[in-house]
Amino acid sequence: MAYSEKVMEHFANPRNVGELEDANGIGEVGNSKCGDIMKMYIKIENGIIEKVSFKTFGCGAAIATSSMATELIKGKSISEALKLTNKAVMEALDGLPPVKVHCSVLAEQAIKAAISDYYTRQGIDPKAIVGEINECCHDHNADGSCSVCG
């Protein structure tokens, strides 16, 4: 499995790592059965993501996608951050092996979860703004349960 230079750079030297003490939005996705857990911290001021950081337990691709995702939303408006897709994260990293695409999905979902938490803390129902957040990165059964996690 070959990784791009950008993936290796973000894995070896991740940006924005750690807890954000003054975060006003925190989102966590993934689970231990999957093997990857991402926690995103955001500090929003006047509708702009002023600070963002992450803590990720997972493989190198999970760390790299978390790092790149934080770089892509820092300084952006909430609406711009909500438009970030896993495809954009992968493109910014010059691609991922097919078996690691799920890491970029988790990064997208972690950002949405943090923004959802921000709205909840403001007393605003986030579902109409953020949409549904998948806690994992696998295909789901007709009943919504995960085909891998259970």
Tens digit of each residue's pLDDT (9 = 90 or more) over 56-66: 999 999 999 99
- CB-facing half-sphere around the CA of 18: CA atoms within 13 A: 7
Q: How many domains does the chain have?
A: 1
Domain holding 125: CATH number? Answer: 3.90.1010.10
Judge whether 149 lies within some domain: no
The pair of three-digit structure tokens given for residue 105, joined into one six-digit string: 């999905």
Q: Is 103 a catalytic residue?
A: yes
Answer yes or no: is 148 within a domain.
no
141 assigned to some structural domain: no
Residue 145 in domain: no
Does residue 138 lie within any of the structural domains?
no
Q: Which two tokens stand for residue 57?
A: 């337990």
pLDDT digits (tens, 9 = 90+) for 23-35: 999 999 987 666 7
Say if 109 falls within a structural domain. yes
Instruction: Confirm if 70 and 16 have CB atoms less than 8 A apart.
Output: yes
pLDDT at residue 147 tops 60: no
- What's the domain range around 33? 5-130
Of 59, 103, 146, 149, the catalytic one is 103
How far apart CA 95 and CA 132 sit, in angstroms, is 26
pLDDT recorded at residue 133: 81
Q: Does 28 map to a domain?
A: yes
Q: Does 150 fall in a domain?
A: no
